[in-house]
Chain A
């Protein structure tokens, strides 16, 4: 199916659907992917949530996640970068556009940029050694009560380990080489809101600690179990609450269970001709509830808005009871918006069970694009102007030179001489004829969406503005590849880890006038810290502007280095990341634009929101969850 989608070419059909198909690949609706459940199956009869409940729908991700997802890395088991027998990089599987392709220059790039070498390989252990796993300690009374509810649960080591982590570097490192000190004692799979109510009641009754689990894509140590937690830790996996309960076409809203993951949500809405348009880079795996709990942001927020603009109603189960509004209205003036206590609460207050979210008809037409700028400064100035004129396309991203070159390293083998000739010609035109310095130029990738006519008009407007900043249109292909990269980049880290390269991404938001300075200073700080910490190879440190707003932008950094010769790479890595975050704050950037705080960035909360601000949040926590049932200790 993915192949069929590609043949169509961009813009030739409802493109959002096409993109989703690319993402979800062959797994769509495949019955084989639904795993036989180890314990009790959930009984749908008990979960007749309000409205015309639809049948439970098969999710792309099974309950036993490890059956199709890597237990010690990112994404699907079948998709990964490898070096084939010829020593060329290749991306396996069939799910992505890049799948099955050979990337002839990636190896050279890794050698040149990171000093990695194929001879120095370090492999993860192949299997989880269940004897290393901390035992599951659950008291019998609770188990009896739980069994009485018929809610599905598991105490198997694999299930528990899988829910003990997100995707921070140190977490993946532990999976590859060590073991977590503390992991959940039991995993429960509520099937609906009422199940969650029961679980929370039981947790209060038996004084347990609940850590909600959605898609497991956190990069803020939010899922890490506090090592000193003495109570039984219950991982509450929302993945089985994944139904679209109703769609209201008059008001363009849909009421959805919070466990649904992004790709399922868009696919199912797509069947009725709608979408939410919320597409965070993790949308293949992350869940609606997770988006709400972390204040997520989607790639196409310029049209659809971020999660706070999208939600109309939230239902959350807390130890104190259920919190929700009494109506589903576009806006209300009833004191501080209680949704804002929920959004960004990062699982410290309760579990989001159901969300009413805005939906839109699937756009008729979608088109990628790209613009080359002579340097990053010009590019930022152009993005600023586009934001000022409020004519940003659905998505606009500006990558710096290092990332531009990185993108080239991921170019698949060219099929024909003609294409490579064309590429050569393009390069000649830009560098020789237009005089762009290949080590300075940077590229903006664009995604337009809407009516065909309006898209074309919009496209022209944006390219006209770009021209004023010496931007040259550089084709749809470059644009599309740019967006594809964000989905495979996480896979690339696993490849790096095999060759002594560790890396991570982090993000911030910053006022327009400080974007350039912040980018330069943070990158420079990383280079300097690496040197000081004894990193033997120059680090790869690069950034892109990924979102534009009226008053500022979101900036995303990648940072990786070769750690050969360093005894404690993770500690060094963390010190450098801390320094980079301090640099961001000193440059007027925020603690986080959309990744959230978790436990990774807690230390800066006070300075970020003031003593009083922190006190306000604490008093909310104190009231809602006085016994700290939701004890993941994020945020505060």
Chain B
């Protein structure tokens, strides 16, 4: 409680409680419409003169590379390494140059035009519409001229960064340089093409390699300082396989913020971009991955094979450019600059605690902004309803429930794009049709494919069913970050079976804590989250809040049941994993062993029908749960020579499991503010 209430952080999200539903968002424009009417070739060859940063010192990519190698920062590290390893500085410098060549982008208008042409063709075949908020584009255009810009899109698909560059080209904006994973480089030609269209590549892990880190960081910072082009990278670090926003990574973010911390630039704009897909290209691939079938390595031939996708329909894409956030405004009054003044700026410096906290907060803030502006399609609602009514649901009932959920979603502030020109039946039919690989309409019933056809449960069948459920779940998941606060309040209220506010709060706090890798919570504001949840539930007439107590209204029970069911896969999944850890584990284990073990354990349970929770098979959920247990000190994580091993603290585990399973009130805390 103290930790929650005590820290009121600046920059924490302000839940604008009154405006949530009426919140005004920009209108979307479909950019494919024009593409379908005019020549792609002419479009690719159009006069392209993007606005540029007012303080831009124009230079070629090669000049950037040179200034990176010659920078004091990199030279300092080179000298240090040379001293430590007894190598000559020349050799290390060579190494640095190689790293740069491997990494560096080579923005080239020819490649861009090539992409503009071919992507036009591809996008038109794949998607019905590509919708963009043009007001956001205008703000971005303004921002690009004023200060260096960092684009921070959500990451659900490889399409993300292609699409973003494509859009910026379309709107005559400077193409971003993109921090992309090194795995693309394996793709011949395409890797080089990507590089020429502005991608630069980073190794997935390089924490131990000081030279790599120095070169990489300096490369990024040089581009920020020069205002060369907007920098783009994914806070989530990788594509989210579950369509839930992943917890942010801080490394790159702190690098792009550093020029401002050191006042080498006046300000830096962070622009959250939310990209949402009616249907994700990689949907089945992700489901396989989550079930432990290894991810195919990116290769050009793989991409060609993917061409068969081209005949498929993937609905619409919505890209929402959020309001540019001024780093200076966020930092004002939060950071003591004095320590920065006492060390030369080129020396590598550990981030001070207040800066680390600041970076963390900003990362979460941006992700929450992404979530806020992420468009939810009708299918997201359908998937959520369907998953609570397996294996099939009457079409009429589905429509009714979906419409009900639509109201609830809007009340909770979800950004729903509902086709208002269609009647509900049609809208839902067309959604179902778009996702015919997951569901089918059979005899007036909507059925999840591969479900409940045969009784005899074999491992293969379980696998197939899990696949469908995970694919469907990935759409439901898009709803969860909008619903998580009110839902966890409802769950807490059910679990405690008490009306006392403080008990409910402490249960909420426990859930929030355990699920903090699963969902995005701004750090340190549990109480605010709780109040937000209560507010939304009160608004929807689900609960009544008195100064001491919280109780369900009459009507509230059914809503609460729905919300609880929405989050049940996670509750049950964590419980099963807890059971696995307490029963099956005798000695230290690695993450790999854990994943394998829990998978077998879960398969057994599913085959015998002792749990309906297919989602425990998701490796994402498994890893998150392990991390949560580590955070709660239930599992101890130790570093060994080859990776990490884990041991279980059985006593702590049984306590936690008790809290999870039980109806018993959870630890009593002194609450001052409730």
Report A's interface with B, CB cutoff 8 A. Answer: 513-514, 517-518, 520-521, 524-525, 585-588, 607
Contacts and interface: CB of A to CB of B under 8 A. Distances in A.
B337 A524 contact: no
B340 A521 contact: no
Given A513-B344, A513-B345, A607-B338, A588 B266 contact: no
A585 B262 CA distance: 12
Given A585-B337, A586-B337, A607-B338, A517 B344 contact: no
A76 B341 CA distance: 42
Contacts of A521: 263, 266
B264 interface: yes
B344 A587 contact: no
A607 B341 CA distance: 12
A524 B340 contact: no
A513 B337 CA distance: 16
Contacts of A517: 262-264
A585 B335 CA distance: 13
Contacts of A588: 263, 337, 340-341
A514 B263 contact: yes
Interface in B76-119: none
A312 B55 CA distance: 48
Interface string B260-282: 00111010000000000000000
B183 to A, nearest CB: 37
9 contacts: A513-B344, A513-B345, A514-B263, A514-B345, A520-B266, A525-B266, A586-B263, A586-B337, A588-B263
A518 B337 CA distance: 13
Instruction: Report the 3 A-B pairs with minimum CB-CB distance, sorted nearest first.
Output: A588-B341, A586-B337, A524-B266
Nearest to B336: A607
B263 A518 contact: yes
Nearest to B264: A517
Nearest to A524: B266
A607 B338 CA distance: 9
A346 B118 CA distance: 73
Nearest to B344: A513
A524 B345 CA distance: 21
A588 B341 CA distance: 5
Given A513-B345, A520-B266, A521-B266, 16 more contacts: A513-B344, A514-B263, A517-B262, A517-B263, A520-B55, A521-B263, A524-B266, A525-B266, A585-B337, A586-B263, A586-B337, A587-B263, A588-B263, A588-B337, A588-B341, A607-B338
B179 to A, nearest CB: 25
Contacts of B345: 513-514
A520 B264 CA distance: 9
Nearest to B342: A588
Interface string B337-369: 110110011000000000000000000000000
Interface in B217-271: 262-264, 266
Nearest to B262: A517
Nearest to B346: A513
User: Contact size class for B?
Assistant: 10 to 19
Interface in B24-82: 55
Contacts of B264: 517
Contacts of B344: 513
Contacts of A586: 263, 337
A589 to B, nearest CB: 9
Contacts of B340: 588
A388 B154 CA distance: 49
Does more than half of chain A's interface fall in helix, strand or loop, or is it mixed?
helix
Contacts of B341: 588
Most buried by A among B55, B264, B266: B266
Contacts of B266: 520-521, 524-525
Nearest to B263: A587
A520 B147 CA distance: 13
Contacts of A518: 263
Contacts of B263: 514, 517-518, 521, 586-588
Contacts of A514: 263, 345
A588 to B, nearest CB: 4
Most buried by A among B262, B338, B341, B345: B341
B572 to A, nearest CB: 51
Contacts of A525: 266
Most buried by B among A518, A586, A587: A586
A560 B145 CA distance: 25
Contacts of B262: 517
A582 to B, nearest CB: 9
Contacts of A524: 266
A43 to B, nearest CB: 54
Nearest to A589: B341
Nearest to B55: A520
Interface in B623-638: none
A212 to B, nearest CB: 33
Nearest to A513: B345
A517 B341 CA distance: 13
A520 B55 CA distance: 10
A567 B344 CA distance: 44
Contacts of A520: 55, 266
B222 to A, nearest CB: 15
Contacts of B337: 585-586, 588
A374 to B, nearest CB: 12
Nearest to B72: A513
A528 to B, nearest CB: 8
B267 to A, nearest CB: 8
A518 B266 CA distance: 9
A348 to B, nearest CB: 25
A514 B262 CA distance: 9
Contacts of A607: 338
B485 to A, nearest CB: 34
A156 B338 CA distance: 48
A479 to B, nearest CB: 29
A607 B337 CA distance: 11
Most buried by A among B263, B337, B340: B263
B379 to A, nearest CB: 44
Nearest to A586: B337
Contacts of B55: 520
Nearest to A607: B338
B345 to A, nearest CB: 7
A520 B263 CA distance: 10
A400 to B, nearest CB: 14
A527 to B, nearest CB: 10
Interface in B444-489: none
A591 to B, nearest CB: 12
A159 B266 CA distance: 47
Contacts of B338: 607
A521 B341 CA distance: 15
A517 B55 CA distance: 12
Nearest to A510: B341
A437 to B, nearest CB: 12
A563 to B, nearest CB: 24
Nearest to A516: B264
A384 to B, nearest CB: 14
A405 B341 CA distance: 33
A253 B266 CA distance: 48
A468 to B, nearest CB: 17
B263 to A, nearest CB: 5
A525 B262 CA distance: 15
Nearest to A585: B337
A514 B337 CA distance: 14
A588 B340 CA distance: 8
Nearest to A527: B266
A297 to B, nearest CB: 21
B358 to A, nearest CB: 14
A587 B259 CA distance: 12
Nearest to B337: A586
B327 to A, nearest CB: 13
A546 B266 CA distance: 23
Nearest to A588: B341
A633 to B, nearest CB: 26
Interface string B311-351: 00000000000000000000000000110110011000000
